[in-house]
Structure 1
């Protein structure tokens, strides 16, 4: 069986995924990308509700619980808890990954970044089966005493991603353990572990983004981004 087939089966299977429409997460997001932009606690203990079918995520509880933020490819908004639009950013840039990370000081950019990241986290590996995503299996990677299989993916322009080309690593159980790509001019690796099953869909509940050396090994500090998923519901 091809690597992508193994991976999708290990994550719950394409039939189960295709029966779903939405997800709801309770999570926290942090790291130096946030603290250096003045948002150390902006995404702590928030709710993210999104679509499994299209790129759409709404965050509730940002800015200390006072506001919500919505990500869609054609608009980013910040709203009051009553639903009033406070700020908006129509047609956000597709070239966002090339923007300096200091842009995250603007909450609209921060919501865009988190929306793209969290939606990708929840839809991978199923998104890799999209007909417009081109995948190629690479040579295996040795991680300590383990052998991880790798898949390179090229994403089409109409899908907003943190990078148009990414390399995914999967362990001997076909679970996602790492993703490499360029971000803000850096080579970064998103490590993922502590997988759990939510309604039949297996999700890594811990993720950490760090820079990597030219040989592909991860540099421990700084931690650019930390994501912890406390609970997830798919329906």
Structure 2
């Protein structure tokens, strides 16, 4: 697909991406999804180390720097800084069982959600070239005075994502600027901007998640999630 080729080239190219195995991020994550669950500062100023090839991330410095949290599709763990496993959640799912409390109230759920979100943020758009991901170009979208190209993607069950179907928006430079999908019974949009190049890979360093109005525009408040990447290294 021409759009996918343009997008991948703008983000550093598939050859460069395929030469890499790991990433390390210094970032902060916040928003009402976190504060309403009692975790306003849980993911402030943390390090995320992950694989570009498999779905795996370790967050160091959560819980005020006291713990680490590890995400893999088959298990979530909370660990002490010396690696001792304190809690574990086998075979996790975004369909969290207790609807009476905030979705991210349990720290294991929080690590799972952030692991899925950050891993997908870092691997998109290259993940869209996966042979089991089905993509199609949609009609353009007018965002203010700009025209953004759009792509719908359907993800297979073996790839853990925030939603099995998502719509991605790309600006005139073929950089990702927005993503729409369902989340916790809401329709949400992720806006991304402030792109920077790290080790030859172009990454949006700022992201904001908000709920969507029926007309496709974002509702300003509340801000469900803010992500700021301070630095990134790919190797």
37-46 or 90-99, which moves further after superposition? Answer: 90-99
The alpha carbon displacement at 1:96 in A equals: 5.1
Query: Is the partner of 2:163 in helix, strand or coil?
Result: coil
Q: Which residue of 1 aligns with 2:178?
A: 178
The alpha carbon displacement at 1:65 in A equals: 0.1
Matched, 1:168 2:141: no
Matches within 5 A, 1:8-87: 8-87=8-87
Conservation of the 8 A alpha-carbon contact between 2:186 and 2:211? yes
Matched, 1:228 2:228: yes
Q: Which residue of 2 aligns with 1:215?
A: 215
Q: Which residue of 1 aligns with 2:154?
A: 154
Conservation of the 8 A alpha-carbon contact between 1:97 and 1:184? no
Query: Is the partner of 2:172 in helix, strand or coil?
Result: coil
Q: Which residue of 1 aligns with 2:188?
A: 188
What number of residue pairs does the alignment pair up? Answer: 235
Q: Which residue of 2 aligns with 1:197?
A: 197
Q: Which residue of 2 aligns with 1:113?
A: 113
Unaligned runs of 5+ in 2: none
Q: Which runs of 4+ in 1 moved over 4 A?
A: 96-101
Unaligned runs of 5+ in 1: none
Deviations 1:63-96 (A, max 9, x none): 0000000000010000000100000001112645
Distance in 2 (CA, whole Å) between partners of 1:96 and 1:193 is 30
| TM-score normalised to structure 1 length | 0.97
The alpha carbon displacement at 1:98 in A equals: 11
Deviations 1:131-185 (A, max 9, x none): 0000000000001111000000000000100000000000000000000000011
| TM-score normalised to structure 2 length | 0.97
The alpha carbon displacement at 1:196 in A equals: 0.1
Q: Which residue of 2 aligns with 1:136?
A: 136
Distance in 1 (CA, whole Å) between partners of 2:81 and 2:98 is 32
Conservation of the 8 A alpha-carbon contact between 1:74 and 1:92? yes
Distance in 1 (CA, whole Å) between partners of 2:101 and 2:7 is 32
Matched, 1:2 2:5: no
Distance in 2 (CA, whole Å) between partners of 1:17 and 1:98 is 39
Distance in 2 (CA, whole Å) between partners of 1:96 and 1:164 is 16
Conservation of the 8 A alpha-carbon contact between 1:100 and 1:184? no
